Structure 1
Amino acid sequence: MDPLSALRDFTMRGDLEKIVRAGEEFRFGADYAFPCAAETAYRSKQGSLYTLETLLFFVNHHHLKHTDYIQAARLNHLPTVTFIDRKPLLDYLQGKISSSDAIQLFPSSSSSASAAIAAAADVAAALPDPSSAFAFAAAAAPSAFAADAEGEAEEDAAAVDVMTLIRTVERPLKDREAILECKNRDFYAVLVASTRREEERQRMESQQRKDGLVAKSRLMGAEDRGLGYGEELGFGDSGIKPKLNLKGSKIGEGVPIILVPSAFQTLITIHNVKEFLEDGVFIPTDVKAKQMKGPKPDCVTVQKKFSRDRVVTAYEVRDKPSALKPEDWDRVVAVFVLGKEWQFKDWPFKDHVEIFNRIIGFFMRFEDDSVESAKIVKQWNVKIISISKNKRHQDRAAALEVWEKLEDFVRSRSHA
């Protein structure tokens, strides 16, 4: 029995629940077994033959609205029955009509040929290798039809039946998941390597924070003992006594600070600043916030990774200016602005002119945003950095532009 007839028989008997999937084939109770992807004799009005798994899924879900049925089929990665084929197909499978013009009938062959084909199908189905089944079917067909000399029409019919047999016993060698497999490649090693890199990065960040705290504590201890900065570092009376200016224009001691807005309306926040500045990749804040585990960090450390410079400076990124101590403000070197006046409320500066003379400002925007979005920002002394909404390969250039302007500003401020 062919797959379409078997499906119609079980549908009419109300035995659809007895059709179960086992690997890559459907088993009709103990009676039949067909490959899931086997083509049936029912042809769509679009011209193609429906497969068994397509028809079985349809007859089990025909009660759904067509749009809901299409969505369910897509979730299961299955082709769908067209709207125009729904009613005549269902009427045929349920036995309301006995035949349909959509059924593709193959020419019948002689009894000896049919017997040979049936025998070949039984043997081929038992073969583990589809190529073996193909070879067996190809070898069996000529001998089966050689016994009948009924002319060229019989040979054509045999050819059609042979191809049907071959398609019936075919097995997929690769599916969507298997195609992603790499021979002789163990991805566990990749996972271990990436985990080690993340642990090393966290270790370096922790050490940098400790170094900054040690330097700060040594400096405070020296001030408490009345020692100069040069004396504490061992310069003694050599005449080299660097002047420490915590309230002046130079950068204060410790790790430099970059401030970012805490509001989600801006492109760069404490959630995604690390990926942008270190890896040159922009990840939307809402996406990154969902990926992060635990509460939002109060501070993250960033470094310029993609640089040929051997000297790498670490920066602290914070989003709570109100938590900064007076001496911390001397370490603030940059700020990503939101474009709103209230961002600078309670800052220890008298106006925007003083802020952006002491601190370099950056305003991140999408390149296709309206000019109005940066109207206020253009009145300030800030650097406007544009990125694309979709072209992530351009993010690196934008990040490099930020680093270049930031490093130039830090050097000029250090020599002020």
Structure 2
Amino acid sequence: MANVTDQASADPLLRLRQSIAANSPPVPTKSADADASASDAVPSIATATHLLFSKPDRKAFPLDTPTRFVPSGEPVDLRSIYFAWQKKDVAIPDYIASAQRLNEELGGSGGAGGKVRNLVFVERLDLITWLEGASEESEYIKPLAGDSAAAAAAAGSSADVASGAAGGIAPVPSGAPGASLAAGPGGRPVKTIDPRLAEIYRGERRMGDRNTILRGIKPTEFSHVRKAAESFLARARSARAGAGASGTHPAIASSTAAALGLPGSLSQPSLVSLPSKRGSGRRPEPIILLSPSASSLLRMSNIKSFLESGLYIPADSALAGSSNTANILHISRLLPSIDAQRPMRFILVDTPEQFKPDYWSRVVAVFTTGQAWQFKSYKWPSPPDLFRNVLGIYIGWRGEDVPSSVKGWGRGVMKTQVDKWNNHFGVQGRWRDREVVEEIWLAIEESMRAKGWTRDAGPAMR
């Protein structure tokens, strides 16, 4: 126990959490001496070399000390951790701008040197939640050596009890007498387990998580069902469009045609699910592809409320603003680094079945659930090739593991998470959704700018 206590005392990450809980934040200093005077304290970590803690005892740590916070295989230094906690209440753009200014000060005259690491939103939220004591676990923080040994011992003890090797109860082979007494410690009789119960224990198997249960071992591809249903849906849409053209809803029919940039006399909009190519003098509209999977958190029914309003609503909920039968949606978004004056109009679809070859140069993002069958009809059916050309976005539930398939697709896929829906709180509990949405739009904007989108033109053909 003393060894574990010593390890905790020497761990800067745990010391920072303890000092925050004690309302005694550490002080940046230029001295490694824990008993240094107040004159060594500096107001900014740009010139400081150490972080001095006064709770539970005085101890100074170098700011370039690697910590147990390892979000992507590389430990984050103490300076970046302390900076992220200082900026816990600022918005994402302000945090990024502050990190850039601090790096300039660190490398400038009088700076302490080094560089702070810019943590992404999910990593920063996980870190701050743990530091402030709101959570006892973090998927990015490695346990102390003593904690790992204790956890391993507890797991081993639980396994021994479950298997009957410990706890005074041993499994009995099938067919053994149902009730018998065995000699326990000190010669006291101990009743052995019932044979039928032992058989049940031996037949138990470990259950999987949501990803393994819903997806299974072999992915099932259902695109043929969509194609078969499309012939029936197309006839229904044609009938509705014909009724509109004959006078039932002429205003709706004409406004729909105008929104798509189509002739007003067109009576079968289902045959053209995407606008025709714009003239060379106008900027084309970027396209966002959604996953058609039924397990996707974002579908055509709830994507507008998520990307426009920063609010996640379950796709099958009555609160969802759009219809599951819609095959094309439009949203507008101002991207300041591309065009600070005019909002950009995006097209949202969940299938590329009616794509023309030039449409692929306009695809700026692909939402995925980690199922490779989604890309079977894409221009780039191989996920590594796809996400070298287009930004991928995976959204899962906060607290659940990212599927191994998504992790294996590389850095071209942005991985983020939202809180699970709670019927008790409803939309009132969705205050963290907007930050996730802002992070997604920032990634889309950076990807579009890198691929050549400008205020007057789209990218070159890929």
Work out which of the two has the higher radius of gyration on C-alpha atoms and give 1 or 2. Answer: 1
TM-score range for the pair, normalised by the shorter chain length: 0.3 to 0.5
Question: TM-score normalized by structure 2?
Answer: 0.35
TM (norm. structure 1) is 0.39
Higher helix share: 1
